[in-house]
Structure 1
């Protein structure tokens, strides 16, 4: 396999995956609650719009992280009679909920910044604000380290969305730190301007998260390199003459893969079944968390049907 192809995913049991996802969600909620308390004290003492921006962002983080916590627990539930493909889309729903929270925080922040531009107020107790924002950045970096570890092991959409908006927190806190530093030098007018800039950036992040969640809910195909890799794996199985009608999507931790194998017309059913099983095993070796459905087609019959379809389309 060349370097451009996707590498095999590390195998995790369902219990290991669940524990990692729960670790990330619990750490997210705990971090958000601690930062809300710290930033609330800092805002009450400084009156800074930039600190308020960071506080509002953390409040939205807490709400989004709670949604994530419940959605991830739901997504880990096994398939049942009413949800035969499992509950994986709960992760995408959580990401969409996060995008809504984040967009709301950006709009609220924009209104506060505009009000402060119209009615300027001095920033006080700047040292407290600087300390709290520095603490917030350190805590966020620790959480992101946990989240990115979990993402590497599980590829969770919900955790990726959570990590994206905590990544914007670093930018938010960095801009807040700059605003407070400028205010300490007597340039407090930059405080609402940076608060407004933070709001625009948060809104942009919300759009990114929402777009990815909608793509997953709409059963968007896997990226083309992965689709090509799956096709190559199937074609490499001995006696497979061709592959067509590959359909893929992601649902939480599971990949849904459906494809048709082209086999010799006179191949016994038992042999065709064995080839399909071998194809499924090869694909699952590289994509362990996958639900695979394979249909076998006689190659000559498929070629005849494809020829008729081409003629009818001309």
Structure 2
């Protein structure tokens, strides 16, 4: 079933998508899968509605309208992919990619609503049991529905992973929820046919709990990128590996990843480079790094250059002392932009300290802790400390 579902979508993709440019294939795959979903759900609605009217089964008729709502969810996903694929305009210079997250969020809300509705219906059936239609026709329709929904889950899950699409994964989870829900209804019908015991309400309760869990997870998965979740740690490591592969780069800090939708990421970062190198050569290196990040990771980069002293033994020794004191506060704290300013009456030491990712402390509190710790260093020093916040996970 899994291979068959994937094979059909692959065959359709070869017909409708094969000649499209790489940048358009994401939208094309999303559009294709959404249209297939709409067609299949409409067919399921028509078949179940006919069987429900023919057999007088309220359960099958209700399940038919559930498939009609699934067709609406597929339409929302389709609209999300079409709108997300629009080119940037004057009002949205970074494109419309985040609309795909919005459509996935709407589908996730629809899953939650279905779960709550099924929860209410299940409690009602437990308190007031209703007769369940156990005809072979009704069970045959449910078996066909289960097979179709498994197929829909397979191709939505496969393409969702291929495109890294939360909207497609939410649709896949919706299909899986429908599969389990219909399976429980079928199981209840079989038990009723064999034993005359009505367990329809209890089965529906278990399904409702599963659907609500799936809906909550889908809401989180689609809401996180809308709110601005932290970038994947693997992606951060890839950025660091590319940047630090250049011999004149001594450090990287203030890395921020901006997500404007799938395939639309922009990063900003600061590079520490030798202050005594030719500025034009450094500028050329940074241009090369920006192009390399775009080619290898598909993200636009804006890089700020921070010149540092690399051949001054006194500065290096003092920086080491300061770093040791700061690490006594927390081993994860880092410092950068270290400078010594020699004045007539004292020496000023200026640097930035970074609050580690996930560490809960106010900048002013960390600054006070560092100032108190640095008082242990002998000498007439004044410290100018700026505290930054890390926005990316680190190893």
Same-fold status (TM-score > 0.5): yes
Local SS of the residue matching 1:122: coil
Local SS of the residue matching 2:229: coil
Match of residue 169 from structure 2: 160
- 1:150-193 deviation line (CA, Å, top 9, x unaligned): 22332122112212222222222322232222122134421121
> Following TM superposition, by how much is the alpha carbon of 1:312 offset from its aligned partner in structure 2, in angstroms?
4.0
Quickly say closer, same or farther: Cα 1:55–1:249, change in 2 above 3 A: farther
CA contact (8 A) 1:240 1:261 kept: yes
CA contact (8 A) 2:84 2:95 kept: yes
- CA RMSD in angstroms comes to 2.5
Match of residue 189 from structure 1: 198
Quickly say closer, same or farther: Cα 1:167–1:278, change in 2 above 3 A: farther
Quickly say closer, same or farther: Cα 1:160–1:270, change in 2 above 3 A: farther
CA contact (8 A) 2:26 2:163 kept: yes
CA contact (8 A) 1:54 1:172 kept: no
Quickly say closer, same or farther: Cα 1:53–1:257, change in 2 above 3 A: farther
Measure the CA separation in 2 of the matches of 1:181 and 1:48.
Answer: 17
Measure the CA separation in 2 of the matches of 1:294 and 1:193.
Answer: 59
Match of residue 210 from structure 1: 219
- 1:247-271 deviation line (CA, Å, top 9, x unaligned): 1243322233222222222333432
Match of residue 302 from structure 1: 337
Local SS of the residue matching 1:309: strand
Quickly say closer, same or farther: Cα 1:295–1:129, change in 2 above 3 A: farther
Match of residue 258 from structure 1: 268
Local SS of the residue matching 1:256: strand
Measure the CA separation in 1 of the matches of 2:191 and 2:56.
Answer: 14
> Following TM superposition, by how much is the alpha carbon of 1:71 offset from its aligned partner in structure 2, in angstroms?
1.4
Measure the CA separation in 2 of the matches of 1:17 and 1:185.
Answer: 49
Local SS of the residue matching 2:90: coil
Local SS of the residue matching 2:40: helix
Match of residue 81 from structure 2: 72
Of stretches 209-218 and 121-130 in structure 1, the one that deviates more from structure 2 is 121-130
Alignment match of 1:240 (pick from 249, 255, 265)? 249
> Following TM superposition, by how much is the alpha carbon of 1:54 offset from its aligned partner in structure 2, in angstroms?
4.1
> Following TM superposition, by how much is the alpha carbon of 1:235 offset from its aligned partner in structure 2, in angstroms?
1.2
Of stretches 76-85 and 167-176 in structure 1, the one that deviates more from structure 2 is 167-176
Measure the CA separation in 2 of the matches of 1:230 and 1:57.
Answer: 45
Measure the CA separation in 2 of the matches of 1:224 and 1:150.
Answer: 23
CA contact (8 A) 2:338 2:350 kept: yes
Local SS of the residue matching 2:87: coil
- 1:44-79 deviation line (CA, Å, top 9, x unaligned): 426364x46644542332222111111111111111
Quickly say closer, same or farther: Cα 1:245–1:14, change in 2 above 3 A: same
Gap runs ≥5 in structure 2: 1-20, 310-335, 341-348, 354-365, 371-395
Measure the CA separation in 2 of the matches of 1:155 and 1:61.
Answer: 21
Match of residue 356 from structure 2: none
Of stretches 96-105 and 230-239 in structure 1, the one that deviates more from structure 2 is 230-239
How many residue pairs were aligned?
301
Higher helix share: 1
TM-score calculated relative to the size of structure 1 = 0.85
Measure the CA separation in 1 of the matches of 2:139 and 2:183.
Answer: 10
4+ runs of 1 displaced by more than 6 Å?
A: none
Alignment match of 1:126 (pick from 129, 135, 144)? 135
> Following TM superposition, by how much is the alpha carbon of 1:83 offset from its aligned partner in structure 2, in angstroms?
0.7
Higher strand share: 2
Gap runs ≥5 in structure 1: 1-11
Local SS of the residue matching 2:248: coil
